[in-house]
A and B are shown apart, each in its own frame.
Chain A
Amino acid sequence: MSGFRFLRRDRRPALVLSDPAASRSLLAIVAILTFLAALAAAGAEMVAASSREWRAALAREATIQLRPQAGRDIEADLARAASLARAAAGVAEARILSRADAEALLEPWLGRGLDLASLPVPRLVSLRLSADPAPDLRALERRLAAEIPGAGLDDHGAWRARLSGVANTILGAAAALMLVILAASGLAVAFATRGAMAGSRDAVDVLQLVGATDRFVARVLALRFLALAAAAAAAGAAAAALSLPLLGWIAALASGARGSEDGVLFGTVSVGLRAYLLILCVAAAVAAIAGLVSAATAKRFLRELRAG
């Protein structure tokens, strides 16, 4: 364990102080970048979680559509479709929507006040699916088509595919953003650390003159700036974690989910544990990058001091 001695808590005061102005800019830059990266990651996770939820909700529903056919009793066909559906495996419930319900669904497209009585309004049977036994919608569709002319089954597959496409695009963008922000953090830490180390030049000189090895000095410097960067990353992550509920609230507003009914249909944009874990990971990644960068910077700084 002797190799890890520096990890033990040393109660003695730090050997090098960092230049206060340069340290403040290091702290600010790292905290802000961590905040942005953490928000990007957590936001992406929230989108992914919502998309998962929405797709699951859509997968639990399907709709039978009956287009009115000349010479057929649509109410009888609806009843027949509903009973076929109830008999099928994996269908928990089949509910016939009344003509009034069907007209209400068309209202957003056709406008209010139009007399739909003369129009052949398609009628719907809404199905609630169970997970176990798994529904065989293709089989149900074949039976419906065989027995009832003009019947069709919509399993919302197109919607689900579109949702997952949008979610994946957002995830990809967030991942790219994260990489850019992490690279920027690395550079910022390198610059700020160099600035801050320049302020400890005299102390470094004294340490070397009283017999410190380059390795010792490099470690002292790197740990000093790693500690600063880690504190800044923690602050940025804490700020991100605190603003997550706000982000969730804005997302909920933007998605238009108001009442409980919409909540059921569209899921809720909720802040899950995974988002907070991701923020922790981002902070750890920033601190790790800061550690590597400040170690490399310290080595270079010492090499340059040696070279005069």
Chain B
Amino acid sequence: MEQPVVAFDNVGLRYGQGPEILHDISFALEPGSFQFLTGPSGAGKTTLLRLILLSLRPSRGLVRLFGLEASGIAGQDLTAVRRRMGVVFQDFRLLDHLTTYENVALPLRVQEREEASYRAEVMELLAWVGLGERAHALPPVLSGGEKQRAAIARALIARPELILADEPTGNVDPALARRLLRLFLELNRLGTSVLIATHDLALMDQVDARRLVLSDGQLHRYD
């Protein structure tokens, strides 16, 4: 059997000396799986995604990514693991001095690829998410929905094995939310593992997918 893309084993996390935000979290994401991570605001969804991204390290317990133990991942390995993941941040984290096109192309550019090798691909994806006309606009002049789509396109462009999306439909109308959800489902059909953090019940009700529910720092599963 293939090893899980992500596996948490009794993970606990506290920020600095503060209270423990996540307690005894254990779960696994199988390759090619699709699931939601849900729970009320402040439950720790973003924190859990940051643990997977290795931008936070667990206070206790084990995190494994692609079969590697997180505490052993550093330097070149860390970069290699991150290149296998695509992330949509809740606050987008687009670079304001780069155009939409440049932002979306960023994961390819940091792999030191020649622009000629990816230009068409980036323009195609931009057209697909409805940003073809906005390719040369800077993020500060984009609407919330446009930034959201740019952030999603950036997460997808390098064809990651795992997509993490933090409230990816928080800034768009229901019609666009459905369209974006179909995009994630399509990617999943092509083999990508997907984890979408959301508290949008209407969104989750559109798909019959596994739900990981966070409350009071504990994880409850509904498969």
Q: Say how far B154's CB is from chain A's closest CB, in angstroms.
A: 7
Q: Who on chain B is nearest to A203 by CB? A: B95
Does chain B have a CB within 8 A of A120? no
**Docked pose: A111 CA to B97 CA in angstroms:** 78
B:110-168 near A, CB below 8 Å = 110-112, 115, 154, 158
Q: Who on chain A is nearest to B157 by CB? A: A210
**Docked pose: A255 CA to B154 CA in angstroms:** 69
Contact A12-B112, Cβ < 8 Å, known A17-B97, A208-B82, A213-B79: no
A contact residues, total (Cβ < 8 Å): 20
Does chain A have a CB within 8 A of B76? yes
B106 touches A207 (CB 8 A): yes
B112 touches A206 (CB 8 A): no
14 contacts between A and B (CB under 8 A): A12-B115, A13-B97, A13-B98, A14-B97, A15-B110, A17-B97, A209-B53, A210-B154, A211-B107, A211-B110, A211-B158, A212-B110, A213-B76, A213-B79
**Docked pose: A205 CA to B89 CA in angstroms:** 12
Interface residues on B, range: 20 to 34
Does chain A have a CB within 8 A of B87? yes
Does chain A have a CB within 8 A of B17? no
Contact A13-B102, Cβ < 8 Å, known A211-B83, A211-B158, A214-B75: yes
Does chain A have a CB within 8 A of B60? no
Does chain A have a CB within 8 A of B109? yes
Tell me the B residues contacting A by CB distance below 8 Å. 53, 55, 75-76, 79, 82-83, 87, 93, 95, 97-99, 102, 106-107, 109-112, 115, 154, 158
B79 touches A211 (CB 8 A): yes
Partner of B79, one of A13, A17, A203, A212: A212
A:174-202 near B, CB below 8 Å = 202
B110 touches A216 (CB 8 A): yes
**Docked pose: A211 CA to B93 CA in angstroms:** 14
Does chain B have a CB within 8 A of A5? yes
**Docked pose: A205 CA to B97 CA in angstroms:** 15
A residues less than 8 Å from B158 (CB atoms): 210-211
Q: Who on chain A is nearest to B56 by CB? A: A308
B110 touches A210 (CB 8 A): yes
